Structure 1
């Protein structure tokens, strides 16, 4: 296709080939001193025109979706990031340039940073929430990733060091080690909240003045409405602050390897059913329906759950046993730090049948939002009193005592011995 050092569009210089994706390649390129990722699609002449058009259409749709979604969990694509490049005598190349996410993938993070130790429940919840939110954004644009696994999930370098269980974590609210954009966003949120509160205060004063001047007003109802608006604004601020604190503490995750991403419509799903979808198989993370050549939105949900299992057990799901009757993955015995409530949700997310998994990401997020309250109830219900040590039964110390014990046994009486003496039970 292209060679190292070659320049495309007079601005992208190819550095090195880093992988293959479907009908194309993935390259690392230099764009005005910034390293980026460029996916190149070259459709072979051997395939039929209809299939070629479909492949190109899906590639264009992927570019369109990534340009629309400006999410920290997805690589950014500039407005001019998609283009068609050709040179004399060669087939045209469809190119998509996107942000290179700096950081470490979760597989390497577990091995190199976390010493192959299971993560705790709080971190598992934070990362599960992030992954579900990111996938939810893709699903809203009718995209299915299809290749989710620890190696395709990056922990951005700006926050990666904070997620190390051996390192000191930043206190909540600190802007240190945050990307400039995130710090700016939080500052803007605080300023916006201050402005909103000020405007509410001004409104209250003006309403109070009008109430005195104009008969027929109801200051109690007006104040109640203002209090409700302020509470909504405060709740939104608390939610944003909590999410920001969690990302600062545990790091921001981002998805990569969009070579497997498919733009999905209901028509396309029906057309795809029964066809080969096994080129992106990852043992332990790929859903059962993908082995049969079928894809659904719940396929991504399955892969997220398997990724969390890997993180909380430090074991590859493909190496864990399954129940011979139900086919369920047997992992809970390796994750005693995970509560039953969260474990039940994870098991449901990776049910064998897609229709048995949560049907929307909103459902998962709602259940996670209520998680803390559920766990508190669960902990109280499972608390048990310390067991009382059983009394020690002393054995006879001498042949005489043994004979007496045998004699008593024949008469169906039990004899206990203590400190060299015996005492019949009454």
Structure 2
């Protein structure tokens, strides 16, 4: 069995123990690197067996936990930055590493799409002859068996829109959870999103994580070029919208298989959408807003982006069924299932679509009916605040009933005729109109004038509304 030495710069890190098997692994005493003398079994239980990657702050290893029944695989992350770092930069890097462990402990054990933290510990070992003691920091986390999206993109090319939208939805839900716990990831990119073999997506590498406070936190120079938004690259404040920007860049890269630098136009300071890229307008609008340079113009939260991404829900009214259920759709001659037959239209139409005739007819009815109600209330309550308030409430109720289509078409004519008859034969109003030479004609003329005036106002409103809509 091979055990890998984790000391940076070890000349022969692979150590071979021919008699070592999984059966004897649990009782194995500490082993040391045959090249540099580094302890190989970390914290007495974690056995690194191969490297997974190396970066500026250390390396990651695939390892086994020998004190679990199945000797489960895990990931060991070593924090050991370059010796050329300044003390200030080294302190920042170590703080980020410790913060990653804290975030994994807090979030990973609560969310199924964030790796769990298993251990976090320092290790002090003797250096070479005449050198001081060296200190290393290790983080052990859950191993996700799969491929990151960067690897998938390199192997399979541009991803279909449906796959990208599913990933976007999944990661927005994860980010909503992360942000609710006061954390900003700050390093969203394809290589930090892992697809496990069963298809579940995981958000990895919280090494650049930042805790959000009441005052927006200041960024650092630790970011991935091309994915970081302007405020992060400038070292300014970071927000939840900072993660949304990076996630949108990730989506654009997955759709096009082009690197961010190929998609961004620095002269026009905007993202370019390749002509051959065809996506649904709803997805494009969401990504464009997430990619705004000004963080205040992006979605304020991952929840807001999720709401914008979802198609509008169609409201339906459930009615008791009095017929047998429809038979299953038969396959078409081509072998595919024929599309379902659309349900018959409802007798009541949606409140969101009014034709021009309906709109103007409703305005005329409102003016006509409103004038009659004003005459009736003025004759009984007078032109006091009580009368005026009652008239406004009745008028608002009429408009609401029309908007909800509780009353429409012939209903409006019947209501107007009944109201006119009541007003003409209402005793208090008859006394008021008794002095007029033609009281009936006066009431009708007043109501018609009010109706025409309301139609004129409604027409002007509609014209202005359409003009503004076309301009915007």
Q: State TM-score, norm by structure 1.
A: 0.56
Cα shift at 1:42: 4.2
The answer to whether 1:152 aligns with 2:100 is: no
Cα shift at 1:28: 2.6
Q: Please point out which of 196, 202, 210 is paired with 1:262.
A: 210
Higher helix share: 1
Q: Please point out which of 264, 268, 280 is paired with 1:339.
A: 280
Counterpart position of 1:127: 167
Q: Please point out which of 346, 350, 360 is paired with 2:291.
A: 350
The answer to whether 1:63 aligns with 2:101 is: yes
SS of aligned partner of 1:9 = coil
Task: State whether residues 65 and 141 of structure 1, in contact with CA within 8 Å, keep that contact through their aligned partners in structure 2.
Answer: no
Cα shift at 1:349: 0.2
SS of aligned partner of 2:63 = strand
Q: Please point out which of 93, 106, 110 is paired with 2:153.
A: 110
Corresponding pairs, count:
269
SS of aligned partner of 2:300 = coil
Distance 1:257 1:21, change over 3 A: farther
Distance 1:335 1:9, change over 3 A: same
Cα shift at 1:36: 1.7
Cα shift at 1:288: 2.0
SS of aligned partner of 2:251 = helix
Task: State whether residues 83 and 94 of structure 1, in contact with CA within 8 Å, keep that contact through their aligned partners in structure 2.
Answer: yes
SS of aligned partner of 1:86 = strand
- Counterparts of residues 15-30 of structure 1 (less than 5 Å): 15-21=49-55, 23-30=57-64
Distance 1:299 1:9, change over 3 A: same
The answer to whether 1:75 aligns with 2:115 is: yes
Counterpart position of 1:237: none
Deviations 1:347-366 (A, max 9, x none): 00011111211111111122
**In structure 2, distance between residues paired with 1:315 and 1:19:** 23
Distance 1:331 1:82, change over 3 A: same
**In structure 2, distance between residues paired with 1:288 and 1:106:** 24
Give the aligned CA root-mean-square deviation in angstroms.
3.1
Counterpart position of 1:94: 137
Distance 1:15 1:268, change over 3 A: farther
SS of aligned partner of 1:93 = strand
Farther-moved stretch of structure 1 (17-26 vs 145-154): 17-26
Task: State whether residues 22 and 259 of structure 1, in contact with CA within 8 Å, keep that contact through their aligned partners in structure 2.
Answer: no
Cα shift at 1:254: 1.1
Task: State whether residues 36 and 97 of structure 1, in contact with CA within 8 Å, keep that contact through their aligned partners in structure 2.
Answer: yes
Specify every segment of 5 or more residues in structure 2 that has no aligned partner in the other structure, as ranges. 1-5, 16-39, 127-131, 316-352, 354-472
Task: State whether residues 240 and 302 of structure 2, in contact with CA within 8 Å, keep that contact through their aligned partners in structure 1.
Answer: no
Cα shift at 1:297: 2.6
SS of aligned partner of 1:74 = coil
Task: State whether residues 62 and 263 of structure 1, in contact with CA within 8 Å, keep that contact through their aligned partners in structure 2.
Answer: no
**In structure 2, distance between residues paired with 1:323 and 1:96:** 39
**In structure 1, distance between residues paired with 2:64 and 2:42:** 10
The answer to whether 1:280 aligns with 2:318 is: no
Deviations 1:78-105 (A, max 9, x none): 3xx1122223452332221011211112
**In structure 2, distance between residues paired with 1:56 and 1:151:** 22
The answer to whether 1:318 aligns with 2:283 is: no
Farther-moved stretch of structure 1 (348-357 vs 136-145): 136-145
**In structure 2, distance between residues paired with 1:268 and 1:15:** 42
The answer to whether 1:12 aligns with 2:46 is: yes
Q: Please point out which of 178, 181, 185 is paired with 1:138.
A: 178
Q: Please point out which of 342, 364, 367 is paired with 2:308.
A: 367
Q: State TM-score, norm by structure 2.
A: 0.51
| Higher normalized contact order (CA 8 Å, seq sep 6+, divided by chain length) | 1
Cα shift at 1:323: 8.3
SS of aligned partner of 1:131 = helix
Cα shift at 1:9: 0.7
**In structure 1, distance between residues paired with 2:159 and 2:51:** 34
Task: State whether residues 40 and 94 of structure 1, in contact with CA within 8 Å, keep that contact through their aligned partners in structure 2.
Answer: yes
- Counterparts of residues 205-220 of structure 1 (less than 5 Å): none
Please say which structure displays the higher CA radius of gyration.
Answer: 2
SS of aligned partner of 1:59 = helix
Distance 1:371 1:73, change over 3 A: farther
**In structure 2, distance between residues paired with 1:22 and 1:297:** 26
Deviations 1:398-426 (A, max 9, x none): xxxxxxxxxxxxxxxxxxxxxxxxxxxxx
